[in-house]
Amino acid sequence: MTLSNPGWPVHLEHEQVSVRPFRRSDANRWSELRRANEAWLAPWEPGTGTTWHEAHSPAAFRAMLRSLKRSVKDGTSWPLAVCWDGKLVGGLTVGNIVRRAFGSAYAGYWIDRGHAGRNITATALALVVDHALTVGRLHRIEVNIRPENGPSNRVAEKLGLRREGLHKRYLYIDGDWRDHYGYAVTAEEVVSERMVDRFERLKRAEAERPASSS
């Protein structure tokens, strides 16, 4: 842990899901995943000014990682690999970390389409939020998601993140300024029960609920 970036580096796991810092050896796997998931991911992410294929080469990953390491050193981000059974399947970034009176950051995430629907992203986000609001000494985490992005909205809703409103024309994505829902959670909301434990409890309750008769 560093004084300028408390909570980093971070290695967290719950059952088959783990999160860890990205490393140079992830380049080929990251490139393979990102290129294969263009149709799944591109509509929700800001453009880079180049083609998706070029922006997601192994070389592009290494350049991105160098930039991210500078932001880590500055204490403004946590770039994390999301893994399933130890294999990279997605990413989660805690970014725009601001300390002192604000004590806030945002979280963004993506997952390989072939691994969607297994609660991997929700579990990873729960682990990271718990860590950020305790060991990481942050007070608030926010997540901003386009209303049309059903899977990402479901992740925030599964974890019980508070929807605070609609940010009009929030980010320039896919050729236009797009609205986003703003979700948030504060440290006071995870004092009595860790988010990952709450999520597991809700999953068990859902699994035990009798199916409604037709």
Rounded CA-CA distance 198/83 in Å is 21
Rounded CA-CA distance 183/161 in Å is 6
Q: Which two tokens stand for residue 183?
A: 């979700």
Q: Report pLDDT for 3.
A: 63
pLDDT tens over the chain, length 214 residues: 556 799 999 999 999 999 999 999 999 999 999 999 999 999 999 887 889 999 999 999 999 999 999 999 999 999 999 999 999 999 999 999 999 999 999 999 999 999 999 999 999 999 999 999 999 999 999 999 999 999 999 999 989 899 999 999 999 998 899 999 999 999 998 887 888 988 888 788 777 777 654 4
Q: Report pLDDT for 214.
A: 40
Q: Which two tokens stand for residue 30?
A: 């990251």
How long a stretch of residues is the chain?
214
Q: Report pLDDT for 200.
A: 85
Q: Report pLDDT for 4.
A: 79
Domains of the chain in start order, with CATH, are 12-205 (3.40.630.30)
Residue 145: CB partners within 8 Å, gap ≥ 6?
Answer: 152, 153, 156, 180, 181, 183
Q: Report pLDDT for 213.
A: 46
Q: Report pLDDT for 195.
A: 86
Contact 198, 211 (CB under 8 A): no
